[in-house]
Structure 1
Amino acid sequence: MNEEVQFIVDSAKEQMESAIHHLEAEFVNIRAGKATPSMLNSVKVEYYGSLTPLSQVANVNTMDAHTITIQPWEKQLIPEIEKGILAANLGFNPMNNGESIIINVPILTEERRRELAKHAKAEAELAKVSIRNDRKDANHELKKLDISEDLLANTEVDVQSLTDLYITKVDDLYVIKEKEIMTV
């Protein structure tokens, strides 16, 4: 296979893999009822004049399935961490005991579980659209090349099979996440 053709196929594969990684990252942000430190990944804290990720200024742990504890490395950061959690708009109400911050993660209602499942479905659809766009871009680039029609057709089939593979991965990830969300 021509080097340029192989480069386009490899590039499309890389882009599709990137869409999968992005989807996995989005799914981590959709909580499924159990408390995890990753729920606070989007929290930024004002620390010496710059916004810093919470994980860089405190230890974030889970006490049990519904409680997250945050132990700041410097006690004066407690109010800033509370502000950061509220500003992240995660729906959590931090409680301060003077030494650390405790967050009780409420149990999800059936309605909220359905909303989260819809959100997960929407993220999966966005990933599929991204993968299809990567296929379209690859096919467009292939048509620009000066290659035989047979090679073009065969390569388009290869790109389509890559697309099908990654769409299936997205569907599999969604099924797992939906089951996780809907399990009480």
Structure 2
Amino acid sequence: MSIADIKKTVEHKMLKSVEAFKNELAKIRTGRAHPGILDQVHVEYYGSMVPVSQVANVTLIDARNISVQPWEKGLGPKIEKAIRESDLGLNPSAQGDLIRVPMPPLTEERRRDLTKVVRGEGEDAKVAVRNLRRDANEQAKRLLKDKEITEDDERRSQDDIQKLTDRTIAEIDKLVQGKEAEILAV
């Protein structure tokens, strides 16, 4: 393994960490409706638990309402029950085959709690990135110890990895600030 391989690998893993963080942020509910909110809700379907999006069409009606259209007739009540029992604080209502899920407005206290959750998720993402940096630096030191690279190469690779880490952490901070602003917007 060369320095270039180490850099490419760590850059790829850091990008994946940022993507995972973006997915976590998408799950955090703001005042607006978002179909991805129901991704973590699972419903029983022929003996196995599957996400709602795999047994129904989940779409936005407007900024505050989500519609869930089951693909099979008998699934409506099961989906409604699964959404109600999830820890999302949603109260769906069935209208024939269509299930409407109104998004209740967030209280000021709940908004503050959500910003704390966002900061915590951001900190977890930063820790993951720092761990990747540490692993990459250890690989470079191993190459130096095995005399496959020079000390200058090892120092240069550490500097490059640090710059990559700084850029990634700055991107995570920017995402955290954006999500906080979105949550606190009334």
State the TM bucket, normalised to the shorter chain: over 0.9
Gaps of 5+ in 2: none
The one-letter code of the counterpart of 1:180 is E
Instruction: Tell me the equivalent position of 2:173.
Output: 171
Q: Where does residue 51 of structure 1 map in the other structure?
A: 49
Q: Give the equivalent residue in structure 1 for 2:6.
A: 8
Write out the 4+ residue segments of structure 1 that deviate beyond 2 Å after TM superposition.
Answer: none
Q: How many percent of aligned residue pairs carry the same amino acid?
A: 45
Shift of 1:44: 1.4
Deviation string for 1:9-65 (max 9, x for gaps)?
111111111110011001101111001111101111211122222112111122222
The CA distance in 2 between the partners of 1:166 and 1:65, in whole Å, is 32
Hey, what does 1:69 align to over in structure 2?
67
* Map of 2:25 onto structure 1: 27
- Partner secondary structure for residue 33 of structure 2: coil
Task: Work out the CA distance in 2 between the residues paired with 1:86 and 1:93.
Answer: 6
Secondary structure of 1:41's partner?
helix
SS at match of 2:2: helix
Q: In the alignment, which residue of structure 2 is the partner of 1:103?
A: 101
Q: CA deviation at 1:79?
A: 1.8
Q: CA deviation at 1:177?
A: 0.8
Task: Select the residue among 82, 90, 93 that pairs with 1:92.
Answer: 90
Q: Distance in 1 between matches of 2:92 and 2:69?
A: 12
Count the aligned residue pairs.
182
- Match of 1:155? 157
Q: 2:129 aligns with which of 122, 128, 131?
A: 131
SS in 2 for 1:24: helix
Aligned-residue offset at 1:84: 2.2
Q: Which amino acid aligns with 2:95?
A: N
Task: Give how far 1:143 is off.
Answer: 0.5
Shift of 1:90: 1.3
Q: Aligned partners of 2:64 and 2:55: how far apart in 1?
A: 22
Report the equivalent of 1:182.
184
Q: Secondary structure at the match of 1:139?
A: helix
User: 3-state SS of the aligned residue for 1:77?
Assistant: helix
Give the whole-Å Cα distance in 2 for the aligned partners of 1:35 and 1:97: 19
Cα shift at 1:87: 4.0
Deviates more, 1:59-68 or 1:154-163: 59-68
CA–CA distance in 2 between the matches of 1:138 and 1:87? 43
1:80 pairs with 2:82? no
- Displacement, 1:88? 3.0
CA shift, 1:183, in A, is: 0.6
TM-score for both structures, normalised by structure 1: 0.94
Q: Which residue of 2 aligns with 1:60?
A: 58
Shift of 1:101: 1.3
Q: Distance in 2 between matches of 1:156 and 1:132?
A: 13
Report the more deviating stretch, 157-166 or 92-101: 92-101
